[in-house]
Amino acid sequence: MHLAVVGSGYVGLVAGACFAETGNDVVCVDKDAGKIERLQRNEIPIYEPGLEDLVRRNQAEGRLRFSTDLPAAVREAKVIFIAVGTPPNEDGSADLSHVLDVAGEIGRAMDGPRLVVNKSTVPVGTADRVEAAIRSVTSQPVDVASNPEFLKEGAAIEDFMRPDRVIIGVQTDAARAALEALYAPFTRRGGDRFIVMDRRSAELTKYAANAMLATRISFMNQVAALCEALGADVHLVRAGIGSDQRIGRAFLYPGPGYGGSCFPKDVKALVHMAKEADVAADVLEAVEAANARQKQVLLDKTRQRLGADLAGKVVAVWGLAFKAETDDMRESPSIPLVEGLLAGGARVQVHDPRATESARAIFGDRVLYAADPYSAAHGADALVIVTEWLVYRNPDLDRLKLLLRRPLVIDGRNLFDPARMRSLGFEHVGIGRGRG
């Protein structure tokens, strides 16, 4: 099938490369000419495991191309995916300007019938708006479908190739058949992985899924705070509740607050949607408020130990990305931490295996970028762990202790066993692991 994917970011690039891998002829379009030139040279602008190989191979074999020429891509393709960003507006609603701009451009370029599939995360009713935007500029027949994306950064290719489910919102059998054929290679593992519904339900499914996951995180962060106040261990409580099949073990890890480009903006957008529809959004508002508080937890724990005046103190930070296996720092809890430490007068020495470039755009030369985790820890009064990178899980703790000026580890991801750390002479402060 001939496909165009408009927007070559985390979602568009992964979707385009995976569709090419299964034999389709794909053009990935972006308005960022620099990004497209890099991609044409097989330089991947983001870090995503396995993506470079996939792009290189499919580009070499001629199934994957990159272009800034949206009209040409629309003329060649029968199915066009929209995968541009939908960042939050000031009021929390999703900014649809990129999606609707692209819809207009597609409409103006259409020289025959097309299926337009929206993959961006968009409020309920956007498929109608996309359809109206296209119809207002062309008399060619257009079918618009919704196909929200559920991939996780850091495991995006695996998620796309072996999805838990593919959600399709359609209003015609033709759209359903085309998308079923496209996704068949990825949904062969059995089970009911291809779920077809109306467009509005598909649009809402994406927000409901992210809001549910964000709720689990805020809930567990609150349970962790209770553990600290009452002298319980969240590690044990998690095992105790996760064994209940109705709850399940996944996504029950407390931490420094959720970040990334999706959960924060999607919870906000759902709150906004609920308010517009005159539906109470109090559960979601509480999830958001709890997360905003949680993003201060690592700074609070550091200040409690080192004092509010951090002048003359050196703080090491391991991990800047909002989670492991990505270079993405959007809404990362590392940002309020580092900014708070700097505001308090501390010298901050950071390390991240992949996010240094993203970090430079935020912190400039206000922090010291260490080449490895141990250099970051050198001479520090505290080590704060923000991201659960594998490389931080089993460090040489004797070496670490010697390098730190004070053996204080504020373990925002509960990577280490508190009792073991104490026996090695560390002051270990976890999240919800005994009195805080």
Q: Which residues are catalytic?
A: 262
CB of 85 to ligand NAD, least distance (A): 4
Single-letter amino acid code for the residue at 176:
R
Cβ nearer to ligand NAD, comparing 206 with 351: 206
CB of 394 to ligand NAD, least distance (A): 28
Give CA–CA dist 212/206, Å, rounded: 10
Options 83-91, 160-168, 307-315, 369-377: segment touching ligand NAD (CB under 6 A):
83-91
Give CA–CA dist 237/257, Å, rounded: 19
Single-letter amino acid code for the residue at 123:
P
Collect all residues with Cβ–Cβ distance below 8 Å to 344 and sequence separation of at least 6: 303, 308, 309, 310, 311, 313
Single-letter amino acid code for the residue at 369:
Y
Out of 5, 7, 169, 272, which residue is the one contacting ligand NAD (CB under 6 A)?
Answer: 7
Residue nearest to ligand NAD (CB): 9
Task: Tell me if 131 contacts ligand NAD by CB under 6 A.
Answer: no
Give CA–CA dist 41/13, Å, rounded: 14
Cβ nearer to ligand NAD, comparing 42 with 375: 42
CB of 323 to ligand NAD, least distance (A): 10
Collect all residues with Cβ–Cβ distance below 8 Å to 118 and sequence separation of at least 6: 81, 82, 99, 126, 127, 130, 144, 145, 146, 147
Contact string (CB under 6 A) for ligand NAD, positions 21-60, x = contact? --------xxxx--x-------------------------
Return the residues of window 144-203 that contact ligand NAD according to CB under 6 A: 149, 151, 153
Task: Tell me if 86 contacts ligand NAD by CB under 6 A.
Answer: yes
Single-letter amino acid code for the residue at 411:
D
Return the residues of window 248-287 that contact ligand NAD according to CB under 6 A: 261-262
Cβ nearer to ligand NAD, comparing 49 with 434: 49
Cβ nearer to ligand NAD, comparing 149 with 352: 149
Out of 17, 83, 100, 329, which residue is the one contacting ligand NAD (CB under 6 A)?
Answer: 83
How many CB atoms within 10 Å of residue 222?
Answer: 17
Q: Are strands 142-146 and 347-351 parallel, antiparallel or unpaired?
A: unpaired
Proportion of the chain in helix, strand, coil states, percent, rounded to 5: 45, 15, 40
Return the residues of window 93-112 that contact ligand NAD according to CB under 6 A: 98, 101-102
Cβ nearer to ligand NAD, comparing 100 with 290: 100
Cβ nearer to ligand NAD, comparing 96 with 237: 96
Out of 3, 11, 367, 415, which residue is the one contacting ligand NAD (CB under 6 A)?
Answer: 11
Options 8-16, 239-247, 332-340, 353-361: segment touching ligand NAD (CB under 6 A):
8-16
CB of 117 to ligand NAD, least distance (A): 12
Task: Tell me if 4 contacts ligand NAD by CB under 6 A.
Answer: no
73 CB burial (10 A radius; 0-12, 13-18, 19+): buried
Out of 80, 84, 252, 337, which residue is the one contacting ligand NAD (CB under 6 A)?
Answer: 84
Give CA–CA dist 266/155, Å, rounded: 20
Give the start-end residues of each E strand in 105-244: 114-118, 142-146, 166-169, 194-197
CB of 12 to ligand NAD, least distance (A): 6
The Cβ-side half-sphere exposure at 89, using a 13 Å CA radius, reads: 14
CB 429 within 8 A of CB 409: yes
- Helix/strand/coil for 73: helix
Return the residues of window 316-335 that contact ligand NAD according to CB under 6 A: none
Hey, what are 187's tokens?
């949904």
CB of 45 to ligand NAD, least distance (A): 8
The stretches of 231-350 forming alpha helices (DSSP H) are 234-242, 263-276, 282-294, 297-306, 334-343
Task: Tell me if 123 contacts ligand NAD by CB under 6 A.
Answer: no
Collect all residues with Cβ–Cβ distance below 8 Å to 123 and sequence separation of at least 6: 93, 94, 96, 203, 207, 269, 272, 273
Cβ nearer to ligand NAD, comparing 55 with 421: 55
Cβ nearer to ligand NAD, comparing 97 with 243: 97
CB of 362 to ligand NAD, least distance (A): 16
Task: Tell me if 121 contacts ligand NAD by CB under 6 A.
Answer: yes
* Chain residues in the site for ligand NAD (CB under 6 A): 6-12, 29-32, 35, 83-86, 98, 101-102, 120-121, 149, 151, 153, 261-262
